[in-house]
Amino acid sequence: MTHWPQNVGILALEVYIPNTYVCHKDLEQFDGASTGKYTIGLGQQGMGFCSDIEDICSLSLTAVHGLIERHGIKYTDIGHLQVGTETLLDKSKSVKTVLMQLFQRHGNSDVEGVDCINACYGGTAALFNAVNWIESSSWDGRYAVVVAADIAVYASGPARPTGGAGAIAMLVGPNAVLSIDRGMRCTHMEHVYDFYKPDLSSEYPRVNGQLSIKCFLRALDITYKGYKAKALKLTGKKIDMTHFDYIAFHSPYCKLVQKSFARLAYQDYLSGEEDPTDPLHAFRSVVEDESYLDKDLERAFLKHSQAQFNQRTEPTLVIPKNVGNMYTATLYSCLASLFLSKTSDDLLSKRIGAFSYGSGLAATMYSFTVTSDLDQLRTFEKSLEHLKTHLSDRIKVEPALFESLMKEREITHHLPNRTPSYSPTQLCPGTYHILHVDEEHRRSYSRTSLLDTLTQPSNHHSDCAPHYCPHM
């Protein structure tokens, strides 16, 4: 259908990473954990976190304003805005409505979309909705913006090192740098209590760790098989992992990503020709339901797939390793990581597989094709270069202070009539933060180091930023 807008997907990414982090090696010592439990066992190096001065709305404001500012976009050029998050502040009012303050200052209230909620899958649901809007009769020629943002915090204990925080804003439109492959995605959804948040007064989830891993890998199996079936139907060719030049996964922790890659290798092995002399042949007889927690199988295919993992997925883990689980934003931080690891020449016209998972559960396997326009690709790559400096320049917080800040956040995060105790001087320039929460739970925000708050119109425009024109 040639009347559809072509190559719809991601034109630009803005990544917000908190300015404070705690080192996993230090956490191991502080927690009295065995050496390597977090760094090798989880595959993590550092965990970004937010104090009591930041919340999901401030993270999202920072990401959206940063996207607009860095890329010289006009607020009036945006007609659709959706937020994917599971970090709820209100059972009724969406984060998107808070973001509308930015648009109202520029006279644009005609912006469709609200929030998408289902654990870590919400960002992907919002992205698909934005793409569908552009490919529909509802599209008016303007861009869509998708925000994926979360603050992942756990109660003190073994799950706490798998936390993280961050936000990503995506500019979505035709002729994208990362276009979503049409007809090449498979979704699996079902009802399961692997991870959920029934206590609305707490930020902490209920987690069944073993069940969650099994659900994750089973959803990966189902969606990968479905993706391959759709690829065969569309192209007439049987595919395997080599169909993808790179593969990005939702990353609760990086060791699970490596296990996920190994799982795809296992699926490819099962669909290949049998060779009774192959040392892996015995694993063909493992019952599927038992295979998810079979350690011998896992170790065998981790070894079998190591070289491919290093080539196709390891480059996507720069941000997840150093920031941790950003929930809805994590998969898209993997895309950003790829551009920090590889050059435009490496990525030109490549295909990137993507697996999105949200507990409860919802999952999709889909893919992007990278543009063949080298100049456009280099502009995209250059816009992310600042993240390398930011990751190395963040404030490292000792575990004892981290625990104290987490305790204060636990006590105050839903309280009315408060002013945050954490100093905004510890935040990066251009970061939104909570100014005050009044007695009616209404929150006001300000932006650091720039003469620009939510009550003052911004005249800032970057003359050197790449300019995008609406596709009318």
From residue 417, how far is each of 8, 99, 144, 411 by CA, in Å? 45, 22, 35, 13
Whether 250 is catalytic: yes
Whole-number Å distance between alpha carbons of 96 and 146: 10
Given the residues 50, 57, 120, 186, select the one marked as catalytic: 120
- Residue 205: which of 120, 137, 130 has the closest Cα? 120
| Dihedral pair phi/psi, residue 378, rounded to 5° | -65, -35
**CB 370, CB 351: distance < 8 Å:** yes
* Amino acid in position 14: E
Is residue 120 flagged as an active site residue? yes
Q: How far is the C-alpha of 176 from the C-alpha of 268, rounded, in Å?
A: 31
Please name the helix (run of DSSP H) or strand (run of DSSP E) that holds residue 286, with its range, or none: none
C-alpha–C-alpha distance, residues 181 and 366, integer Å: 7
Distances from the Cα of 401 to the Cαs of 51, 109, 202, 459, in angstroms? Answer: 11, 42, 21, 38
Largest CA distance in the chain: 72
| Phi, then psi, of 344 in degrees rounded to 5 | -60, -35
Catalytic residue from among 250, 334, 413, 433: 250
Q: Which residue's structure tokens are 């492959």?
A: 181
Using CA atoms, how far residue 408 sits from 26, 133, 402, 405, 420, in Å, is: 21, 41, 10, 5, 10
E strands present in 311-401: 351-358, 362-370, 395-396
Specify the residue for token string 């990968």: 224
CA distance 314 to 236: 30
> Catalytic annotation on 106?
no
Q: How many residues would you count in the chain?
A: 472
User: CA torsion angle for 359, 228, 146, 357 (degrees, to 10)?
Assistant: 10
Q: Which of 14, 54, 69, 86 is catalytic?
A: 86
Report which DSSP code applies to 118: B
Which of the residues are catalytic? 86, 120, 250
